[in-house]
Amino acid sequence: MTTYVVTSRATGAEVLRYNADSQQDWQGFPAADFDQAALAEPEPVVPAPSSVFGGRRRLTKLEFVSLLGEDEFKAVLTAAEASVDVAAWVKLIELLTPNPDGTSVDLDDARVLAGLGAMEIAGVLPAGTAQRVIHG
């Protein structure tokens, strides 16, 4: 898998990183406003030793919500009432089926990362929330 970096053309700031076999087109990140580039070498995901769930990258839905935080979770649910894109992402999380080990949410899933990043850009979530959540 390759790690891709999405940057804002207006500010030059990195807004999202995701891992995928090929470059993805994401709603909320139009090519006219954002550049995507593959990193020369994929960066391994190394969770901080103090991560809440011991560095696991696959979590239950409740663990994911606890990482997101109560205020942020409520903000996402509120935004979902007015935005089909946010509602679709919430539904995606709801539809995740537990794997045999009891986990549902893969913190390395590009769809999870894209949704968090898009909600930061839209102002639903505070800046830095996506990085905080995906690093456990």
Give pLDDT tens digits for 61-79.
Answer: 999 999 999 999 999 999 9
* pLDDT > 50? residue 50: no
pTM: predicted TM-score of the whole model, two decimal places: 0.62
Please report the pLDDT score of residue 45 as a whole number. Answer: 52
Please report the pLDDT score of residue 43 as a whole number. Answer: 52
* pLDDT > 60? residue 124: yes
**Domain locations in the chain as residue ranges:** 46-134
Question: Whose CA is closest to 25, among 40, 4, 41?
Answer: 4
Distance of CA 15 to the CA centre of its chain: 11
Tokens of 28: 């909320």
From first CA to last CA, the distance across the chain in angstroms is: 21
